[in-house]
Amino acid sequence: MKEKRMNKIKITVNGKIHELTIKPWRTLLEVIREELKLTGTKEGCGLGECGACTVIMDGKTVNSCLVLASEADGREILTIEGLADEDKLHPIQEAFINHGGMQCGFCTSGMILSTKVLLEKKPNPTEEEIKEGISGNFCRCTGYTKIIESIQAAAKNLR
Amino acid sequence: MEEYSVIGKRIPRVDARAKVTGEATYAGDIELPGMLWCKVLRSPYAHARILHIDTSRAVQLPGVKGVVTGKDFGGYRWGFMPQTRDETPLAVDKVRYLSEGVAAVAANDEDIAEEATEMIKVDYEELPGVFDPEEAMKEGAPKVHDHAKNNISWEFHMDYGDVEKGFRESDLVREDRFATGRVTHGYLEPPAAVAYWDSSGITIWPAKQSPYFIYRHLAACFRLPLSKVRIIQPFIGGGFGGTKNDSLAGDFCVVLLSKMTGRPVKFVYNMEEELMTSRRRHNIIVNIKTGVKKDGTLVAIQTRCIADGGAYTAIGPLTMYLTGIQTTLPYKLPNFKHDIYRVFTNNPISAAMRGHGVTHTRFAAEIQMEMLAEELGIDPAEIRLKNAITAPHETINKVKVNSCGFKEALQSVMERPNWKGRKERKRREGYRSWGIGLSGCGFVGGARQLGHQSCGAIVRICEDGTVNYLTGATDSGQGSDTVLVQIIAEELGLALEDIEIKRVDSAMTPVDAGSYGSRVTILAGDAARKAAQDARQQIAELMAKQWEANPQDIVFKDRQVFVKGSPEKTLSFEKVARIACYSGTGAVIIGRGYSSYGLEPMDFDRGMGSPGTSFSFTAQTAEVEVDMETGVTQCTNTVIADDSGRPLNPLLAEGQIEGGAIQGLGQAIYEEFVMDKGETLNPNFRDYRMPFPLDVPKITIIDIPTEDPNGPYGAKEASNASITSTPPAVVSAIHDATGVWIKELPATPEKIWRALKEKK
């Protein structure tokens, strides 16, 4: 029989505080998707290799499949659902729409959040810096070209 | 070319907003009240007899609601053709590949379901396995299926002209052996579905790029009429053929478990399960013999191929057909013979993948053409130009090409400074050596299979002038929903936001053959155009009466409807729609249409006749830098001149071509499953190495416009050609940089390093 002990955590997700009682082995990804029902964060490989589950925790991108939910206790988390300001999309979202920065959409949430952190650090990135900034995010559909163009356009709009 | 309002414009995707906000719902995101989780127990052996399955302990685990094994499916088998139905939802008497499904559990949550699978006891008798297709063909090799002599799953023989005479008349003949790698689709969304069984039948939300395959499979398996099988399609996280174009153990199990428990049941494979068990591209040995004249004129090609089919047939016969049917493109070829054997082994199942079938033989033929040109001292571009076809063209196996920009494509890559200046360029800098390679390709679009091959469309005009458009075609990421909506908008003179497209729901949408073989834009597009024209005609006839005009003179443009030459007779589309819908006692304006291209006779068994409606063409150069000490290769630049007819949305068409090229780059130098006695040793994305952002070269796309009569507005396919032309361009570039030929894909650093060592 598996361990019965439960952990209590308090996390802020997209500006909203959640107090949760969870099994200690639950990942942040599972809590976001299954407890908070925020399914915009995707599970691709589940091993931290593909970046589909990327969220921003205290200003840094993490693979939420590799973070135990208990480690996120007291932290502030941003998921894709928290990026737009009500109906007004974030400029990065706009740029991905206008420049064809997604196809199937499965990597898109993580890709956009990695872009956000990249552009906060480097508002005027070179192409190489963009590639490095999203090097943890895998995309099988686009060949990355339109994603890179979307990020360049987003950087311009944000400056 | 005719000027259109929305066709040919760089328009953002209609589903883009849902995808950048996280709103887009995929199969794994769906949760229903009372839903159970399904887990599949998988075989620890690649080849074994199942002696006994004891589920008694699993059933007793608290939270477990149902357990099924292979015998519970009533002997149901499925496959591509009636004579190849060799696969069962779960293994019944024998497992034929490692991790084949043996039993499945439904439980309250995923952890319990997983624990329960571990409590199922299966007694196996391990059997000797066979893992190499050439070994499997030998007398006395272990038999994967009792019915298959020498483990031959399928074979194809095509024989046109007289290759022996052709070789005799050639000035130079070469024979080489090439091999393509074991690669996979690599989409990020693993297979998943949620199913619910009630008195109305089956309702299922599966991750399928061709939902009407599973529609037929479930009806047959569960003996239900098609009207009681409802496939509702969520967003699809990438497809590229194969797995998401077929049914899987999980699909059948969730339906049966829902029937047993009365509750919705969900499965999501994890990525290891996906990579261990899913249908992957065939790896094929291509023995190729080509004869040419001194001036480079192609005289004859003979190919003898052996394909590792894995444990079941799946869509394999079509793959085999495709390896041969297009060898006669994009060069004039008077004599051609092709023999291919698909061989059963105890490896995971091989099936379709983007670049289907063609990628193997085109790789071999392109590289061998380079070798022949080198021996003859002919420029690699000149030999291609000399042999390139022009439209109209009919190949020796009666494949018809109505539009072809291949020569123009070749010329445009030849004019680029990187090709023109290649001989003057500095080639060596420190350890790194630079090289450039060229390739060409023709690829079928609007592909046909045997049997049902049409697409349908329904266009319903709402009384406020908006439109509901129903299609059975699936957008698995390629952007077809957007292109189809553009077509409806164009024909009705509306804006994209006036058209609402719902995803496939087999209870509502017209049946569709599926999203494969670059057929959606061409065939679903043809249907959409006809349905919109039908609705437009109904409105035009009503308004013609009102305006005392000829229906043909009624114009629909910019949300206005007017009589040509009489501007006073103008109304908004909104007003016209209301008049039409309220005419008489009230009318129903529904336009319908179905695709009708591609009806010329074809002989599948002999590989004669067109495999689709039209052909795209690419000419491509790729530049590489090879580290001469380690063999590590980086592709730094690629130029793709692409004739995809009239691109209906260049933004999306470019995305397809770029995506195809990078998937092809993976196949060329990075990706390969490493196998050991049927076990996939690298079932994860760290060790199965797909291209990441830093691996990506600069891509330049040159659009070569043509207009094909067998495509809406002249459209053809995009991306199957670029995935096919990339590997030969890259491997030729490696040769240009290093002087060695890598004949087995992928061209890994180790292979290059060994070849360089041998050369010294």
Q: What tokens appear for B653 in the block?
A: 């068409």
Measured between alpha carbons, how far is residue A141 from residues B105, B312, B351, B433, B660 in Å? 33, 28, 19, 30, 8
Q: Based on the domain organization, do B263 and B299 belong to the same domain? A: no
Flag whether the pTM goes above 0.80: yes
Q: Report yes or no on B727 lying in a domain.
A: yes
Q: What angle do CA B714, B719, B720 make, to 5 degrees?
A: 100
Q: Answer whether A80 sits within 8 Å of B235, measured CB to CB.
A: no
- What is d(CA A107, CA B688) in angstroms, rounded to the nearest whole number? 18
Nearest Cα residue to B662 out of B639, B685, B695: B695
B594, B611, B632 — which closes off a domain?
B594
Q: Based on the domain organization, do B317 and B412 belong to the same domain? A: yes
Q: Report yes or no on B2 lying in a domain.
A: no
Q: Based on the domain organization, do B444 and B459 belong to the same domain? A: no
- What is d(CA A144, CA B580) in angstroms, rounded to the nearest whole number? 47
In contact, B747 and B671? CB cutoff 8 Å: no
- In this prediction, residue A1 has a pLDDT band, given cuts at 50, 70 and 90, of very low
Q: B385-422 b/e with 16+ CB inside 10 Å = b?
A: bbbbbebebebebbbbbbbbbbbbbbbbbbebebbeeb
Q: Based on the domain organization, do B442 and B483 belong to the same domain? A: no
Give all strands (DSSP E) within B582-652, no chain letters.
590-594, 614-627, 633-643
| Count of A-B CB contacts under 8 Å | 170
Q: Which residues pair with B152 in a beta bridge?
A: B343
Helix, strand or coil for residue B388? strand
Q: Answer whether A96 sits within 8 Å of B22, measured CB to CB.
A: no
Q: Based on the domain organization, do B85 and B213 belong to the same domain? A: yes
Min Cα separation B198/chain A (Å) = 26
pLDDT for B453 equals 85
The CATH number of the structural domain formed by A7-82 is 3.10.20.30
CATH number at residue B78: 3.90.1170.50
Q: Based on the domain organization, do B297 and B240 belong to the same domain? A: no
Q: Which residue has the tokens 């079941």?
A: B312
- Give the number of domains in chain B: 3
| Residue B428, number of CB atoms within 10 A of its CB | 10
Residues 6+ apart with CB under 8 A from B699: A143, A145, B638, B639, B640, B658, B661, B662
Q: Which of A109, A141, A144, A149 to mutate to test the interface with B (most CBs of B within 10 A)?
A: A141
Q: Which residues does chain B have with pLDDT short of 70?
A: 1-2, 598-599
Q: Based on the domain organization, do B722 and B751 belong to the same domain? A: yes
Helix, strand or coil for residue B407? helix
- What is d(CA A112, CA B591) in angstroms, rounded to the nearest whole number? 40
Q: Report yes or no on B64 lying in a domain.
A: yes
- What is d(CA A90, CA B487) in angstroms, rounded to the nearest whole number? 30
- What is d(CA B23, CA A80) in angstroms, rounded to the nearest whole number? 9
pLDDT for B597 equals 79
Class of residue A4 by CB neighbours under 10 A (exposed 0-12, middle 13-18, buried 19+): exposed
Q: Based on the domain organization, do B339 and B386 belong to the same domain? A: yes
What are the residue ranges spanned by the domains of chain A?
7-82, 91-158
Nearest Cα residue to B554 out of B492, B468, B634: B492
Q: Based on the domain organization, do B739 and B653 belong to the same domain? A: yes
Q: Based on the domain organization, do B606 and B732 belong to the same domain? A: yes
* Whether the predicted interface score ipTM is above 0.85: yes
Q: Answer whether B238 sits within 8 Å of A140, measured CB to CB.
A: yes
Min Cα separation A141/chain B (Å) = 5
Q: Report yes or no on B106 lying in a domain.
A: yes
**Given CB atoms, is A91 within the 8 Å cutoff of chain B?**
no
Q: Give the model confidence (pLDDT) of A64-106 as tens digits.
A: 999 999 999 999 999 999 999 989 999 999 999 999 999 999 9
Q: Report yes or no on B181 lying in a domain.
A: no
pLDDT for B306 equals 98
Residue of B111, B186, B479 lying closest to A103 (CB–CB):
B479
Q: A 121-140 residues with CB below 8 A of B?
A: 130-132, 134-135, 137-140
Alpha-carbon torsion, ordered B703, B705, B708, B713, to 10 deg: 90
Chain A residues within 8 A of B18 when measuring between CB atoms: 105
CATH number at residue B363: 3.30.365.10
Q: Based on the domain organization, do B58 and B206 belong to the same domain? A: yes
Min Cα separation A57/chain B (Å) = 18
Q: Which of B9, B17, B20 to mutate to test the interface with A (most CBs of A within 10 A)?
A: B20
User: pLDDT averaged over chain A?
Assistant: 96
Helix, strand or coil for residue B116? helix
Q: Which amino acid is at B333?
A: L
pLDDT for B617 equals 98
Q: Report yes or no on B568 lying in a domain.
A: yes
Q: Based on the domain organization, do B723 and B607 belong to the same domain? A: yes
Q: Which domain holds residue B88?
A: 27-127+191-268
**Given CB atoms, is A18 within the 8 Å cutoff of chain B?**
no
Which of the following CATH numbers is that of domain A91-158: 1.10.150.120, 3.90.1150.170, 3.40.50.2000, 1.10.10.10? Answer: 1.10.150.120
Q: What angle do CA A9, A12, A18 make, to 5 degrees?
A: 55
- In this prediction, residue A124 has a pLDDT band, given cuts at 50, 70 and 90, of very high
User: pLDDT averaged over chain B?
Assistant: 96
